[in-house]
Chains A and B, each alone.
Chain A
């Protein structure tokens, strides 16, 4: 202790005494991350968007996902659905299998399909036919106590119902309004949209798949990736609008056209055309900017005896990356393709289309008598980046995703044991992590919770509306 008790000396304090000691006491980075992110204990931490209330007048994946992102970050999202029917996405299960029952109290034999997953997690479910005159006021009351709304109607529909930004802004100047349309305003304003249309119409499908000269066709991604990506981009807009509102006190209207998203993620495609009149083509599992940087086919399956064709036949693909010169030299050495290194020493030589065809053909020839595991091991042992192309079963088995909590089992309060990725598969946050509390609820499951507890409407009235199918 110092003589004068009012004096604070560093050596009397707990903790490191010098910068050197501090450095020594720091835990290894890996350990630090594990502790800071602590997957599985998200619920002990606060939620970033707690206090934001959002209305989701949406359907399918694209616009609902914009609100689900908010709900996973802690916002109170109220999904408003057509009474007894719900979001059309509920009836769009993969094939005919995965339904969770019931959809609604009046429809015990109808369920909600797994296609609905991830796009509406953590939300509260309200049913309301808000376009009938009797319910308009209730809708306005929700608007007055909410921060914003996402809708996906045909252009001008909500304007006709006096529910567009022009009207709502007068009731609530802080209101943030999102119209997620297929095309947005413009010559194609009345065109509806689906994910596949977005992929096709904005040029993404034309640069996906094998090149025409290899017999390739334009491909759509199997999943509705443009829906998911567009929804996420809307959420960026919403968060920016919330920040802007903190500074100005004013809301915003966000207009998001789904067919815009593929243009945003198309990289150099348009600048290339604009400068040289060159139309980008598909280049399949290879890369137009890097070589070697692609997926090759090995001769033997990792699971030759498996019953599932996805294991039996597809467990043969390996992603290889060795584009910088030392890596490429190493790759040529271990695969016995030494003359390729002689011919294509510089990256600019081997990244051309013709050398790529030669190199990948030779690599596949080399891999023809090997399994996927053998190829990956040979390459990684030599210090080259290589990874098997895994199917979802293998991703589920993979320890990496399990430890980080990317995939996890959720004991859904209503539906029981469900394997989910959703909010946990987005980036991790130390202070306010995303989380999935429940996957969804039946249509109108929160009617009482919202009509009575939030709006103060008596139960007798709620029952009357329910019987008239207004809610």
Chain B
């Protein structure tokens, strides 16, 4: 972390007490205005080589140029703002697509429409000591996928490439 802005702005009678993390990739050598993720106070900062050269100075009424990536409140039970909370933290552009964040995707067909075996749970091997039969017979082991495959074939959704 290049530096943080520990916001002490008094809001509603008590200090905001939020740590705004200034990630080095964006803030290492940067001059501009950034906001506190909690109370929205705008601060002017000028960072050189990851060190705070000017600021943070409050700039009431001005708009921030860039938000911090992440913020938390370590003294108050670690509530936090993950990247990409609208109006508070900056979205992390490399964030995986939503389908990468949940449970594993149970794909039944490859992109050309032929069946794959990639879902769970799988039937046990039926062999000794984890011995697996080398030919996976889709018709026998997953009749419903086989039926779906036949449908796809009829509709012309199965391609060779």
Contact = CB atoms under 8 A, between A and B. Distances in A.
Nearest to A402: B161
A95 B134 contact: no
Given A96-B104, A97-B99, A402-B161, A108 B128 contact: no
B104 A448 contact: no
A415 B136 contact: yes
Interface in A449-467: 449, 451, 459, 462-463, 465-466
A173 interface: no
Interface stretch (A174-182, A358-366, A416-424): A416-424
B129 A416 contact: no
Interface stretch (B2-10, B51-59, B80-88, B112-120): B112-120
Given A95-B96, A95-B100, A96-B100, A415 B118 contact: yes
B75 interface: no
- Overall SS of chain B's interface: loop
Interface string B62-99: 00000000000000000000000000000000001001
Contacts of B122: 101-102, 108
The 9 tightest CB contacts between A and B, nearest first, are A444-B130, A417-B114, A416-B116, A417-B110, A108-B121, A95-B100, A466-B129, A447-B129, A105-B130
Contacts of A465: 129
A329 B128 CA distance: 71
Q: Which of A96, A411, A417, A444 has the most CB of B within 10 A?
A: A417
A402 B161 CA distance: 9
29 contacts: A96-B102, A96-B104, A98-B118, A100-B116, A101-B117, A105-B125, A108-B120, A108-B121, A109-B121, A111-B120, A409-B110, A413-B136, A414-B117, A415-B117, A415-B136, A416-B116, A416-B117, A416-B138, A417-B109, A418-B110, A419-B110, A441-B134, A442-B130, A446-B131, A447-B129, A447-B131, A451-B129, A463-B128, A471-B129
B120 A101 contact: yes
B97 to A, nearest CB: 9
Contacts of B129: 444, 447-448, 451, 462-463, 465-466, 471
A416 B124 contact: no
Contact of B136 (A416, A419, A451, A463): A416
A471 B131 CA distance: 12
A273 B160 CA distance: 53
A70 B109 CA distance: 31
A418 B132 contact: no
A270 interface: no
Contact of A449 (B105, B120, B131): B131
A443 B132 CA distance: 9
A89 interface: no
A101 B118 contact: yes
Nearest to B104: A99
Q: Which of A95, A411, A443 has the most CB of B within 10 A?
A: A95
A448 B117 contact: no
A435 interface: no
A448 B128 contact: yes
Given A100-B117, A448-B129, 8 more contacts: A97-B104, A99-B104, A414-B135, A416-B118, A416-B138, A443-B130, A444-B131, A447-B130
B136 A99 contact: no
Q: Which of B115, B130, B131 has the most CB of A within 10 A?
A: B130
A95 B95 CA distance: 11
Nearest to B113: A417
A443 B136 CA distance: 16
Contacts of A96: 96, 100-104
Nearest to A114: B118
Nearest to B126: A105
B13 interface: no
A99 B132 contact: no
Contact of B100 (A97, A415, A447): A97
A316 interface: no
B61 interface: no
A96 B101 CA distance: 7
